[in-house]
Amino acid sequence: MREPITQSPIVGIFWMVLTGLCFVAVTAIVKHVGDTVPAAQAAFLRYVLGLVFLVPMMRPILAARLTKRQMSFFAARGVAHTLAVILWFFAMTRIPIAEVTAMNYLSPVYVTIGAAILLKEKLPPRRMAAVIAALIGALIILRPGLREVSIGHIAMLGTAFGFAVGYLIAKQMSDEVKPAVVVGMLSITVTIGLAPFAYAVWVPPSLPDLGWFFLVACFATLGHYTMTLAFSAAPLTVTQPVTFLQLVWATLLGAVVFGEHVDAYVVLGGAVILGSVSFITWREARAKRQVTPTDLAVKG
């Protein structure tokens, strides 16, 4: 069991801002590479090339002497993250960056609904209203009936669910083991999980593609590490609102670099979702219960 870490709101905000920048960089690179490599293979290359970062993490992982229970939790997170990251890589080639980012804000809403249905947790009226507001935000983004809801949007709904499972486990594990162990175990389990999917669709990657995916691995690994530090440094009620910056950066990135149309409905829907998530987080903190944070732009 780790010793309690003194929390600092300013430090937590700093780490969460850095996390957002890292994940936006990941998003930009994956969007740049496009669909030249199948989604499952692209995800696998990101993780297998990132195994180099496991070298400094092996000592803390071995020293942690993980219990069977902890190993089971890490394995479950690996399965959820494997499926989510495949869907995310696929969605990135089908819909604008801003829509990918905004729909990722649904992850903690999924957790709230799942806890009420599966774990029989109470869903007070205010919390229920926040969940409904978040779902309305998703409808604002998707606008079914007014425009085509593509397979990329459906993939992002699945992505947000998978990340929700993963982040709930990550939060629990970050209270028990060092951040390096949380990040390292994610890399190991997801690389193993992606291998058979990548093998099934494998195409020879070019050297430039390998270089780009190594950069993805660099930024994604750093992002997961700084996110874990943010969890430990400050309450979720402090770091949660900071994640909205990712939608702003993603929207600007899509418009300036990739020539994507700035959709006011996507920004509005993302703001509604994040506002609802922040309210849920605040209410949970008032009730002295832990909730899952939203990570928000790719968690790949």
Position 297 pLDDT exceeds 80: no
Position 287 pLDDT exceeds 70: no
Name the residue with tokens 């993980």: 66
**Rounded Cα–Cα distance for residues 105 and 275 (Å):** 10
Q: Tell whether 52 is covered by a domain.
A: yes
**Rounded Cα–Cα distance for residues 159 and 106 (Å):** 9
> Would you say 215 and 42 are in contact if contact means Cβ atoms under 8 Å apart?
no
Which one is predicted more confidently, 135 or 76?
76
Q: Tell whether 255 is covered by a domain.
A: yes
Query: In the predicted model, what is the mean pLDDT of residues 215-219?
Result: 91
Q: Tell whether 258 is covered by a domain.
A: yes
> Would you say 209 and 33 are in contact if contact means Cβ atoms under 8 Å apart?
yes
**What is the average pLDDT score of the chain?**
81
Phi-psi region of 120 (alpha: psi -120 to 50; beta: other; left: phi over 0): left
The answer to whether the Cα torsion of 269, 217, 68, 70 is positive or negative is negative
Band of residue 207 on the pLDDT scale cut at 50, 70, 90: very high
User: What residue type is assigned to position 288 of the chain?
Assistant: K
Residue 7: the pLDDT is: 63
Residue 1: the pLDDT is: 47
Domain of 54 in residue numbering reads as 9-286
**Rounded Cα–Cα distance for residues 53 and 56 (Å):** 7
Band of residue 118 on the pLDDT scale cut at 50, 70, 90: low
Weakest-pLDDT range from 35-39, 131-135, 169-173, 234-238: 234-238
Note the pTM of the prediction, 2 decimals.
0.75
**Rounded Cα–Cα distance for residues 185 and 190 (Å):** 8
DSSP code of residue 177: S
pLDDT digits (tens, 9 = 90+) for 46-76: 889 988 888 877 888 888 888 899 899 999 9
Q: Tell whether 270 is covered by a domain.
A: yes
The answer to whether the Cα torsion of 167, 171, 173, 178 is positive or negative is positive
Query: In the predicted model, what is the mean pLDDT of residues 91-120?
Result: 79
Residues 6+ apart with CB under 8 A from 61: 180, 181, 184, 185
Q: Tell whether 145 is covered by a domain.
A: yes
DSSP code of residue 145: T
> Would you say 253 and 24 are in contact if contact means Cβ atoms under 8 Å apart?
yes
Position 132 pLDDT exceeds 90: no
Which one is predicted more confidently, 103 or 282?
103
Name the residue with tokens 């000592």: 59
Query: Residue 12 CB: number of other CB atoms within 10 A?
Result: 21
Q: Please tell me the total count of domains within the chain.
A: 1
Query: In the predicted model, what is the mean pLDDT of residues 94-120?
Result: 78
pLDDT digits (tens, 9 = 90+) for 145-200: 677 788 999 999 999 889 888 877 877 787 788 878 887 888 899 999 999 999 99
Band of residue 119 on the pLDDT scale cut at 50, 70, 90: low
Provide the greatest CA pair distance for the chain. Answer: 55
Q: Tell whether 293 is covered by a domain.
A: no
Position 249 pLDDT exceeds 70: yes
Cα 216 off chain centre by: 14
Q: Tell whether 57 is covered by a domain.
A: yes
Residue 45: the pLDDT is: 92
Position 295 pLDDT exceeds 80: no
DSSP assignments along 66-130, one per residue: --HHHHHHHHHHHHHHHHHHHHHHHHHTTS-HHHHHHHHTTHHHHHHHHHHHHS-----HHHHHH
Position 234 pLDDT exceeds 90: no
Position 242 pLDDT exceeds 90: no
Please give the backbone phi and psi of residue 38, each rounded to the nearest 5 degrees, phi first.
-55, 150
Residue 292: the pLDDT is: 44
Q: Tell whether 181 is covered by a domain.
A: yes
